[in-house]
Structure 1
Amino acid sequence: MKHRIVALAGLMALGVQPFQAQAQAQAATASGAAEAVAPIRVDLTRSSAGYNYFNRPGASLDQHDAAVRACLAEARKMSQPDDNGAAAAGAAGGLLGALVVGVIQGAVNGMQERRGVTANLENCMVVEGWRVVRLDEAEGKLLDALEQAELRAALADKVGVETPAGQVVRVFDNDAARGDTVVIGRAGDLDKVSLSLQALPETDAKPEPARKGPQPPRTARPPRALKPEEVAVNPGDALITVRLTGMAEQGGQSLIFTRQGPAPDIQPWESDGRPALFAVTLPTRGAARGDRTRAVTQTFAVPPGRWRLSAINAGPYFTHFCLGSSGFEARDGEAIYAGAIDLSGPDRRPDLTPRDDLLSPASPAAQAGVVHRIADWTYGDKEQCQGAYLYALDLAPAVGAAAETPATVVEPTATPVEAPASSPTAPETTTAPTPH
């Protein structure tokens, strides 16, 4: 029997409402003889359609196998949230109804896990520099029918060539920074299992079991956003201000910031017992009835250190930028303005230009003499992967943008304030949700 796909193991799921993934992932570039497809919306929740394999110019077949195996190990760590929506439907049917629903639900959850692992395998491979190449239907069917050893031999002259035959349908292009990329949601349909995965030789090595790490102490609980009258820099702390905007359909989404530990698998609170996470959540309500825009500005008092935007959360779905995240240093006694991130805009990179309504000299922070420094975003952090999806996100300023951004700003606010009526951006809520 041909080896198709492997058993799954997950680590974690978070909870709120999911939202719909709508597009097939295919961001394409090609060179030479390889036929190109026009770039369309990338979707991190599903693998590319068609008969595909992974290619990286100059790579050997052994390097290909090692990369697929390593990414498969990372993909197995991720876990799709259980969809328990059908549970209530069987409740009225007594024990038999509950058993039937349980069997169906188990099959559904298993299918979602298989879809999720193939999506994450592809996400990992493109981050690591591999291209997704789609064969035409006829050749794809021929290879798909081969046994594992024969298929691996057939891919030997394809995985490392510069100009592969077929279509290069996806490469890494910092897709998560683009506003039209689907970054989170229920796992999309699985069209075909990657030929690269099917060709992977069997191994006696068992998947590494998920290990439950130490639990954070109460002192390490995420801090709440400060109230206007609380904004002040205290010794031993740093202030971080983040502005988040979007539309009604993004309401409830959270950006999760984490503090860097001494190693990717060691949490900073293990040594100092202090918080290592805070989250900024977009409000679900507008500033006025019928207003579809959403906005909030929040400030958090946190331990000094390197803080990075690690993940985005929507409902039970959590996309972790564990393969490459962006962050900045927050030193003891200073205040950092991390910028404004628009979840509904064409670019998710933070806008580091301070807004006029955040410079009011009458604000409590200004009265307290708080001077904010513009965050110096840099890319390259890695973490232990967990959640539903894995990927990478580079938020470093675009070329030329850094020269236009002031190095420091007397940015008095970091609290929810009402934007002026003339402002083209969304007015902020005055009661921002606090993540838990």
Structure 2
Amino acid sequence: MKRIAAVVGLVALVAEPAQAQLVTRAAVGPAVPDVENRIDLTRSSAGYTYFNRAGADLAQHDAAVSACMVEASRMRQPDDNGAAGAAAAGGLLGALVVGVMQGAMNGMHERRGVAANVENCMVVNGWRVVRLDETEGKALDALEQAELHAALAEHVGAAQPKGEVIRVYDNDAVRGETVLIGRSGDLDKVSLSLQAQPPEGATPPPGRKGPQAPRTARPPRALKAEEVAVTAGDALITVRLTGMAEQGGRTLFFTRQGPAPDIQPWEQDGRPALFAVALPTRGAVRGDRTRAMTQTFSVPPGRWRLSAVNVGQYITHFCLGNSGFEVRDGEAVYTGAFDLSGEQLRPDMTVRDDLLAPASPAAVAGVRHRAAQWSYGDKEQCQGAYLYALDLTPQTEKAVEAAAPEVTGADTPVVVVETTASSTLQ
């Protein structure tokens, strides 16, 4: 029986029946997909697929897959199947049975999540997903690992790959129709590129475990109107979220860049490096389906990035490429207004006159916000449920479509994001 390589120390990937196939973006330009063809970060593409990048050789393909397997191994699918309540109702035997079922379900979702995240990582790093037809795909799928590995040599670097290009990087996370988060989707078939990997070297290198964050570095809460003021050594960041009832509870996480890619800023200054803004779950008045929230935070100056988005226990981390802005000592910066129900997540940077409450100290002092100047390219150590990249650079400043970030290896230094909240990045 053909051996399927272990995915970075996790259980071996096995194919699961798909209830519905995912048809992803074709490589023929960035045409806006309909609902059926939208990108879904929670699942890998259906069918017999492999990864391709024009001009790449098999060694580069294997190195990229291995690095993405390491990144995918850091991610975890939340346990939200409600087994604990069922176990309590069934006594000791019920707890045992439910525990076995829960373990199987968790394992299934981990396998699905790993497959999705490997594909997400490869796409962000400039690789294309190519799907073969059923006949040719089955023939390759039946090969032993070494034979399959050799057979892919002529496919992975072809400028015109054999099969249909069904997914490429196109800054998908910025579009409203993209599925960013949720329970892991169906795993139809394991990628041929993954099956071709030898089992040796599947264990990821140990990650850096820094010190625990001190109490002084806990995420700040949003300021009340009477507390908003600009003080020496601090800065103000104001974020506005809007959306509909179905987006209620969705949260954006902002993190501060450290002095080095693998060092948290609080390791040197003991100050906060993360804050979060959540869209309200209730409307302003009964029956109102619209939601809005504007919050201001007093934070240390530095470079702040939009790092992740979450709903409930699920976190999608833009660790492979995120966007940020500089905040200087004593100034007030407006990140823009994010419409979580809009066509794009990219913020409206129009600075509102009523960002500060009229009676707030900052307003009385005549403090004016300036619009954040977003730039792209920061990277962090991946964590949460799903990984991807998000470019928020204003379109008016871009002459070309968003390009995939530079390919990085497994040993590239990264920034660790930490927080104490149960539903936030950990």
Calculate the TM-score normalised by the size of structure 1.
0.85
1:213-228 mapped onto 2 (5 Å cutoff): 213-228=210-225
* Corresponding residue SS for 1:233: coil
C-alpha separation between the residues in 2 aligned to 1:315 and 1:83? 10
Q: CA deviation at 1:365?
A: 3.5
Structure 1 residue 355 corresponds to structure 2 residue 347: no
Amino acid at match of 1:198: Q
Number of the residue aligned with 2:310 = 313
Structure 2: tracts of 5 or more residues without a match: 11-19, 400-423
8 Å Cα contact 2:8-2:202 kept in structure 1: no
From 67, 70, 87, the equivalent of 1:70 is 67
Amino acid at match of 2:393: A
* Corresponding residue SS for 1:155: helix
Number of the residue aligned with 1:152 = 149
8 Å Cα contact 1:243-1:298 kept in structure 2: yes
Number of the residue aligned with 2:83 = 86
C-alpha separation between the residues in 2 aligned to 1:120 and 1:341? 25
* Corresponding residue SS for 1:47: coil
1:386-405 mapped onto 2 (5 Å cutoff): 386-400=383-397
Residue deviations 1:201-234 (CA, integer Å, cap 9, x gap): 2314523356654211000011111111111110
8 Å Cα contact 2:235-2:329 kept in structure 1: yes
Number of the residue aligned with 2:343 = 346
C-alpha separation between the residues in 1 aligned to 2:111 and 2:154? 28
1:74-153 mapped onto 2 (5 Å cutoff): 74-153=71-150
Number of the residue aligned with 1:411 = none
* Corresponding residue SS for 1:323: strand
C-alpha separation between the residues in 1 aligned to 2:114 and 2:220? 33
C-alpha separation between the residues in 2 aligned to 1:38 and 1:61? 32
8 Å Cα contact 1:56-1:129 kept in structure 2: yes
Provide closer, same or farther for how the CA distance between residues 79 and 92 of structure 1 changes in structure 2, counting only shifts above 3 A. same
C-alpha separation between the residues in 2 aligned to 1:186 and 1:5? 24
* Corresponding residue SS for 2:264: coil
Cα RMSD over matched residues?
Answer: 2.4
Provide closer, same or farther for how the CA distance between residues 148 and 9 of structure 1 changes in structure 2, counting only shifts above 3 A. closer
Structure 1 residue 4 corresponds to structure 2 residue 4: yes
Provide closer, same or farther for how the CA distance between residues 116 and 356 of structure 1 changes in structure 2, counting only shifts above 3 A. same
Percentage identity across paired residues of the two chains: 74
8 Å Cα contact 2:5-2:198 kept in structure 1: no
C-alpha separation between the residues in 2 aligned to 1:5 and 1:178? 34
8 Å Cα contact 1:76-1:117 kept in structure 2: yes
Provide closer, same or farther for how the CA distance between residues 104 and 354 of structure 1 changes in structure 2, counting only shifts above 3 A. same
Provide closer, same or farther for how the CA distance between residues 319 and 23 of structure 1 changes in structure 2, counting only shifts above 3 A. farther
Amino acid at match of 1:45: T
Number of the residue aligned with 2:367 = 370
Number of the residue aligned with 1:286 = 283
Deviates more, 1:227-236 or 1:206-215: 206-215
Number of the residue aligned with 1:187 = 184
Amino acid at match of 2:269: D
* Corresponding residue SS for 2:154: coil
From 259, 266, 270, the equivalent of 2:263 is 266
Q: CA deviation at 1:400?
A: 5.0
Provide closer, same or farther for how the CA distance between residues 23 and 41 of structure 1 changes in structure 2, counting only shifts above 3 A. farther
Structure 1: tracts of 5 or more residues without a match: 11-21, 403-434
8 Å Cα contact 1:9-1:77 kept in structure 2: no
Number of the residue aligned with 1:381 = 378
Structure 1 residue 201 corresponds to structure 2 residue 225: no
8 Å Cα contact 1:233-1:335 kept in structure 2: yes
8 Å Cα contact 2:220-2:298 kept in structure 1: yes
Amino acid at match of 1:250: Q
C-alpha separation between the residues in 1 aligned to 2:76 and 2:233? 37
Q: CA deviation at 1:67?
A: 0.4
Amino acid at match of 1:80: Q
C-alpha separation between the residues in 2 aligned to 1:41 and 1:211? 36
8 Å Cα contact 1:4-1:193 kept in structure 2: no
Structure 1 residue 172 corresponds to structure 2 residue 155: no
Q: CA deviation at 1:120?
A: 0.3
Number of the residue aligned with 2:22 = 24
Number of the residue aligned with 1:425 = none
8 Å Cα contact 2:8-2:203 kept in structure 1: no
C-alpha separation between the residues in 2 aligned to 1:275 and 1:3? 47
Amino acid at match of 1:217: P
Calculate the TM-score normalised by the size of structure 2.
0.87
* Corresponding residue SS for 2:243: strand
C-alpha separation between the residues in 2 aligned to 1:25 and 1:330? 41
